[in-house]
């Protein structure tokens, strides 16, 4: 693809990377992701958050797009090739957060998210968690032969066994002390010495039996769970749903430090970049569609007013 620049140079073509040392921070590169990343130095980004085009879902009208392969195996192979470059440019303590939806073909669910996840494991990625994105406003369906899907997967990978992960940054409110608690026997025993059943799941916890509840529960909340209930997001400038900011926020908060660089090799409409900047991180975005790069540029500039872009 030939170099593409806007008036302020915010969008670059891959040819514009010559002479740039390191990742082109806070820029969009309009090109093929694998080809572009091959020009990046190793270990130059701290975290990757992305949602590749789903298999057979949409035509982005570019000859280098991913998603319109003739078979699932070809689609997976293309993603594996691209994520091989992601693995190289990711820091040794870095993580990858990958969102994928599934696909029905001839009445059969392909299991595409897990096919890709297993293929990436075979490539050396370490799968740390599968997260269910529960779509609270999922589109209705007229299907009558199976349940209507209202979830997608977010896979959490690391490059190595030791990696950066800030659990405290994404803790959830405790349920135990609220009216949503399902604890048997009610909540009347809170703060009472000996109030916890000796044979229950908390058996042997001296702090609880001595009414030291303050030492048994983390002051910032409970550890993040693996089902995230988040509605779909919309963007007025296009007819499609966009990556929800609430889905990306925990990945960036837990996955890297302020000032670090977040990569999205399938930037799409730019949500990863918007969230990264708002949370005090830098971004690098890549997309093969010039139309989407321009949409992302517009959204980023509109949404990040008051935030510094280097």
Give residue 47's pLDDT: 98
> In this structure, are 91 and 202 located in the same domain?
no
* Residue 188 reports pLDDT greater than 90: no
Report the percent of the chain where pLDDT is more than 90.
56
pLDDT value at residue 235: 66
Question: Residue 62: inside a domain, yes or no?
Answer: yes
Average confidence score pLDDT of the chain: 84
Distances (CA, A) of 59 to 54, 62, 63, 66: 10, 8, 10, 9
Residue 3 lies in a domain: no
Q: Are residues 201 and 118 in the same domain?
A: no
What is the DSSP secondary-structure string of 269-308? TSHHHHHHHHTT-EEEEEES-HHHHHHHHHHHHHHTTTS-
Most confident among 69-78, 194-203, 233-242 (mean pLDDT): 69-78
Same structural domain, 131 and 20: yes
Sequence-distant contacts of 132-136: CB under 8 A, at least 24 apart: 132/226, 132/227, 132/228, 133/99, 133/228, 133/230, 133/247, 134/227, 134/228, 134/229, 134/230, 135/230, 135/231, 135/232, 136/229, 136/230, 136/231
- CA–CA separation, 255 and 95 (whole Å): 6
* pLDDT greater than 80 at residue 272: yes
Whole domain around residue 39: which residue ranges? 11-168+227-303
pLDDT of 33: 94
The H or E element that residue 254 is part of is helix 245-255
Q: Where is the domain boundary, 188, 222, 256?
A: 222
Residue whose C-alpha is closest to residue 91's, from 273, 240, 263? 263
At 210 the pLDDT is: 55
Q: Is the pLDDT of residue 239 over 60?
A: no
Q: How confident is the model at residue 56 (pLDDT cuts 50, 70, 90)?
A: confident
As for how many domains the chain has, the answer is: 2
**What mean pLDDT comes out for the span 280-290?**
94
Are 154 and 264 found together in one domain?
yes
By the 10 Å C-beta count (0-12 exposed, 13-18 middle, 19+ buried), 110 is classed as middle
Provide, rounded to the nearest whole percent, the portion of the chain with pLDDT above 70: 77
254 contacts: CB under 8 Å, gap ≥ 6: 165, 166, 167, 169, 170, 224
Contact 299, 274 (CB under 8 A): yes
234 part of a folded domain: yes
Residues 182, 154 within the same domain: no
Question: Do 92 and 35 lie in a common domain?
Answer: yes
Q: What is the CA radius of gyration of the chain?
A: 22
Buried b / exposed e along 169-187 (16+ C-beta atoms within 10 A): bbbeebeeeeeeeeeeeee
Residue 4 lies in a domain: no
pLDDT value at residue 22: 75
In this prediction, residue 262 has a pLDDT band, given cuts at 50, 70 and 90, of very high
Which of residues 157, 191, 222 is at a domain's end? 222
Residue 36 domain-assigned (yes or no)? yes
For residues 152 and 192, membership in a common domain is answered with no
Q: For the ranges 85-94, 215-224, 261-270, which has the lowest average pLDDT?
A: 215-224
Task: Say yes or no: 148 and 186 in one domain.
Answer: no
Structural domain contains residue 209: yes
Tokens of 133: 């994105």
pLDDT tens, 101-128? 998 999 999 999 999 999 999 999 999 9
Residues 107 and 76 in one domain: yes
Same domain flag for 23 and 130: yes
Sorting pLDDT into bands at 50, 70 and 90, what band is 37? very high
Q: What angle do CA 214, 189, 184 make, to 5 degrees?
A: 110
| Domain CATH for 138 | 3.40.50.150
Q: Examine the domain organization and report whether 100 and 133 are in the same domain.
A: yes
pLDDT given for residue 303 in this prediction: 82
**pLDDT band for position 6 (cuts 50, 70, 90):** very low
Closest CA to 256 of 171, 121, 163: 163
Domain end, chosen from 222, 254, 287, is at 222
Q: How many C-beta atoms lie closer than 10 Å to residue 75's C-beta?
A: 24
- Structure confidence by residue, pLDDT tens digits, 126-158: 999 999 999 998 888 888 899 998 999 999 999
Is residue 107 in some structural domain?
A: yes
pTM of the full structure: 0.85
Distance between CA atoms of 138 and 241, rounded to whole angstroms?
11
47 forms beta bridges with: 95, 262
Angle between helices 271-278 and 245-255 (to 10 degrees): 50
Residue 244 lies in a domain: yes
Question: 108-109 and 104-105 as β-strands: parallel, antiparallel, unpaired?
Answer: antiparallel
Q: Are residues 212 and 129 in the same domain?
A: no
Task: Give dist(CA 290, CA 103) in Å, integer.
Answer: 26
Among 44, 9, 19, residue whose Cα is nearest residue 293 = 9
> 35 φ, ψ to 5°?
-65, -45
């Amino acid at each position: 693809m030939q170099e593409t620049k806007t008036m302020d140079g915010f969008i670059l073509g891959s040819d514009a990377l010559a002479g740039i040392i390191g990742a082109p921070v806070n820029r969009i590169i309009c090109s093929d992701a694998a080809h572009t990343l091959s020009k990046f130095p190793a270990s130059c980004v701290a975290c990757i958050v992305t949602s590749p085009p789903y298999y057979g879902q949409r035509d982005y009208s570019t000859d280098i797009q991913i998603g319109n392969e003739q078979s699932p195996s070809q689609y997976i192979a293309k993603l594996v090739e691209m994520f091989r470059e992601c693995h190289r440019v990711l820091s040794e303590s870095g993580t990858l957060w990958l969102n994928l939806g599934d696909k029905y073909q001839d009445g059969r669910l392909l299991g595409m998210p897990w096919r890709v996840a297993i293929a990436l494991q075979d490539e050396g990625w370490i799968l740390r968690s599968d997260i269910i994105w529960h779509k609270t406003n999922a589109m209705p369906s007229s299907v009558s032969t199976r349940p209507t899907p209202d979830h997608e997967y977010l896979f959490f990978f690391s490059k190595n066994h030791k990696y950066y992960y800030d659990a405290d940054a994404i803790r959830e409110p405790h349920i135990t002390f609220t009216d949503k608690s399902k604890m048997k026997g009610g909540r009347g025993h809170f703060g009472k010495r000996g109030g916890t059943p000796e044979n229950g799941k908390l058996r042997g916890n001296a702090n609880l039996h001595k009414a030291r509840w303050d030492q048994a529960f983390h002051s910032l909340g409970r550890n993040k769970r693996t089902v995230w209930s988040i509605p779909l997001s919309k963007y007025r400038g296009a007819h499609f749903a966009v990556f929800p900011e609430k889905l990306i926020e925990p990945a960036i908060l837990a996955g890297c430090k302020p000032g670090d660089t977040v990569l999205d090799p399938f930037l799409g409409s730019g949500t990863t970049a918007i969230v990264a900047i708002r949370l005090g991180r830098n971004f690098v975005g890549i997309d093969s569609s010039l139309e989407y790069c321009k949409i992302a540029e517009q959204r980023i500039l509109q949404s990040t007013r008051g935030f510094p872009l280097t």
